[in-house]
Structure 1
C-alpha cells in the first residue's frame, strides 16, 4: 500500500516537472527553429521566458527573416520587442525592402517603428507611390474672381526622412498655400482656367517636400470651379461702409447745428429777457429823475412827443413800402 502511494506521488511529481519544463521550454518552437536552420538554443528560449518575452514573438519573425536571407539575430529582435516595438512588422518591412532592393538597415527600420510610423506602409509606399487628394482650396485671382481648386498629390515615402519628417497634413497645407499664391499672382481667373497646368508647375517648383517624410512626384489639378466675385463683394461692402460713415458724419453735423440753434435761441431769449427787464426799469428811472429834479416835466413831455413822432414816421414808412409792393408785384 505504501509502495503504491509512493509510486503515485513520484508520478505526479514527474508530471509537474514535465509541465514546468514544457512551460519554460517551448519545445515546438525549438524544433521549428532547428528545422528552419535557425540557431536558437534551449537556454535562449528559457531566458526569454524569464524576461517575460513570448518566444513565439521572436522565433517566428527570426525564421521568416532567415528564410528571406536577412542577417538578423535574436538579440536584436528581443531588444526591439522590449523597447515596445512591433517585431513582426519590422521584419516584414525589412523583407519588403530587401525584395525591392531598397537599402534599409535594421537599426533604421527599428527606429522608424519606435517613432510611431508604420514602417511597412512606408516601404510599400516607396515601391507604390500614394496619391493624396487635397480638400477644395479657395483662391482669388487678380480680378477678384474666386476659384475652387482640388488637386491630387502623388508622393513617395522617403525612408531617410521618416524619422523627424513631417507627415501628410504638412504636404496638404503647403500645396494649398502654393495654389492660393499662384492663383493670386494671376491677373485674371481666365488665365488660370486656360492653363491649369501652370499651377502644378509653379507649386511643384517650390520644393514643398523639404523637411517632410515624402518626396512629391507630381501635383495634378483634378477640378477647377468658378466661385463668387469676391472683388465686387468687397467693393460693395466698402461702398456700404463709406455710406454709413458719411451718414454718421452728416448726422453729427446736423446734431451740432441743432445744438448751435438751441444755443442761439437760448441766448436770444436771454437777451430779450434782459431788454424787457431794462425797459421795466425805465419808468422807475424817469420817476426817480423827476423826483430828484434831474428831469423836468417839460422835458418828459418833449421826450414823449419825440417818441410818438418816431412811431408815426415808422408807421408811415411801413405803409408806403406795403403800398408799393401791392402796386408793383414781383413777377
Structure 2
C-alpha cells in the first residue's frame, strides 16, 4: 500500500508540476514557478501551450507574461499563432502589440497570415467579369488585384470577397460608360485607373496596391440580340392582334349570316301567308277572279323576265371565259 501511495503521489506531482517543462523554461531563461504550473492545471490550461510560446517570445526579445498568454488561451485564442505573429511583426519592423494581435486572433482572422501579407502582398484574381459597352457589345475582363493587409483595420474590416465585388463593380461601370467596346480593348489600363481612383479598399482589411487587367475578350452582341428579341416580340404581338381581328371578322360574318337566314325565314313565312290572304280576300269578296288572274299574269311575266336576264348573263360570262381561236 505504501508503494502504491508513493507511485500515486509521484504521478500526481509530475502531472500538476511538469518537471521537464520547468527545466526547459529555466534553461531558456524564463522564470516559471511551480505555483504557476500547478495553477494552470487547476484552471485546466495545458502548461505546454503557455510555457512553449513564453520560451519562444523570450528568445525573440519579447517580454510576455504567463498571465497574458493564459488569459488569451482561456478566451479561446491561439496563443502560439499570436506569438509567431508578434515575432514576425518585430522582424519586419511592423508595430503590433500583444493586445492588438490577440484581438485580431479572437476576431477569427489569421493574425500570422495578416503579418505575412503586410510584408509580402497577395495577388487576388477576380473571376470573369462581364459588362456591356454603349454599342451593345459584351466585354469579358479578368483582373489581378495586389493587396496588402492593413493591421489597423483587420478587426471589423471587410474581407477579400468585398474587394472582389468592388473591383467587379468598377469594371462593369467603366465598360458600361465607354462609347464603344474598342476603346476598352485599345486601353485596358483605363479600367485599372478608373477602379483605383474609386478608393475601393475603404472600410476593408486590405490596402489595394495595384489592379492589373489580365485578360480582355469580346463576347456576344447583346444589343443585336435585344433588338432581335424585341422584333420577335413585336411580331408575335402583331400576329396576335391579326388573329384577334380575323376572329372578330369571322364572328361578324357568322352574325350577318344568321341575320340573313332569319330575314329569309321571315320572308318565306310572309310568302306562305300570301295565298291564305288571297283566299280570304276572294272569299270575302275584296278581290275578284279577274284581279287574281291579273296578279298571276304579272307574277309569271316577272319570273320570265328574271329567267331571261339570268340566261343572258350566263352567256356573256361563257363568252368571256372561252379562249380566242
Short-chain TM bin: over 0.9
Q: Does 2:274 align with 1:282?
A: yes
- Change beyond 3 A, Cα 1:12–1:181: same
Deviation at 1:323, TM superposition (A): 7.6
Match among 302, 315, 325 for residue 310 of structure 1: 302
Q: Secondary structure at the match of 1:39?
A: coil
Deviation at 1:294, TM superposition (A): 2.3
- Change beyond 3 A, Cα 1:327–1:42: closer
Deviation at 1:308, TM superposition (A): 3.1
TM-score (norm 2): 0.92
Separation (CA, whole Å) in 2 of partners of 1:43 and 1:84: 23
Match among 84, 91, 94 for residue 86 of structure 2: 94
Match among 212, 218, 225 for residue 204 of structure 2: 212
Match among 237, 245, 248 for residue 229 of structure 2: 237
Q: Secondary structure at the match of 1:154?
A: strand
- Change beyond 3 A, Cα 1:239–1:29: same
- Change beyond 3 A, Cα 1:328–1:126: closer
Match among 186, 200, 211 for residue 194 of structure 1: 186
- Change beyond 3 A, Cα 1:56–1:283: same
Separation (CA, whole Å) in 1 of partners of 2:20 and 2:310: 138
Q: Does 2:162 align with 1:170?
A: yes
Q: Does 2:145 align with 1:183?
A: no
Separation (CA, whole Å) in 1 of partners of 2:180 and 2:290: 100
Q: Secondary structure at the match of 1:310?
A: helix
Partner residue of 1:3?
none
Separation (CA, whole Å) in 2 of partners of 1:154 and 1:243: 51
Deviation at 1:91, TM superposition (A): 0.5
TM-score (norm 1): 0.91
Match among 115, 121, 126 for residue 129 of structure 1: 121
Deviation at 1:175, TM superposition (A): 0.8
Deviation at 1:326, TM superposition (A): 8.6
Separation (CA, whole Å) in 1 of partners of 2:314 and 2:251: 37
Partner residue of 1:160?
152
Partner residue of 1:149?
141
Deviation at 1:101, TM superposition (A): 1.7
Q: Does 2:17 align with 1:25?
A: yes
Written as runs of structure 1 = structure 2, the 5 A alignment for 1:48-127 is 48-127=40-119
Q: What count of residue pairs does the alignment treat as equivalent?
A: 322
- Change beyond 3 A, Cα 1:295–1:128: same
RMSD (Å) for aligned C-alpha atoms: 2.2
Partner residue of 1:268?
260
Separation (CA, whole Å) in 2 of partners of 1:324 and 1:49: 128
Separation (CA, whole Å) in 2 of partners of 1:164 and 1:208: 16
Separation (CA, whole Å) in 2 of partners of 1:140 and 1:38: 65
Match among 231, 236, 240 for residue 248 of structure 1: 240
